[in-house]
Amino acid sequence: FNQEPSQTVADALLQPERADDAVIERLLAKASDRLSLFTAPASISQIMDIPDDSYLSVIEVVRRNVPFLV
């Protein structure tokens, strides 16, 4: 899909308390009229220790903002 967003899912996972509807909307890269991508970093330069709760919090906010989540 050749997307290069300024922020990625890693940003949301590292600060899940800031992942509100507006932040998630900015993180979704529009690939087409019917497809938006929640992108990953292009490269991982460091190991990130992300708590399980962070994933659950971010997924919950994403689900509120999109009709389907895969």
Q: Where are the domains of the chain?
A: 9-65
Tell which phi-psi region holds residue 2, choosing left (phi > 0), alpha (psi between -120 and 50) or beta: left
Q: What is the pLDDT of residues 12-68, one digit of tens each?
A: 898 888 889 988 888 888 888 989 888 877 777 777 788 899 999 999 999 998 898
Res. 5: pLDDT tops 80:
no
CA distances from 21 to 2, 5, 16, 44, 65 (A): 24, 17, 12, 26, 7
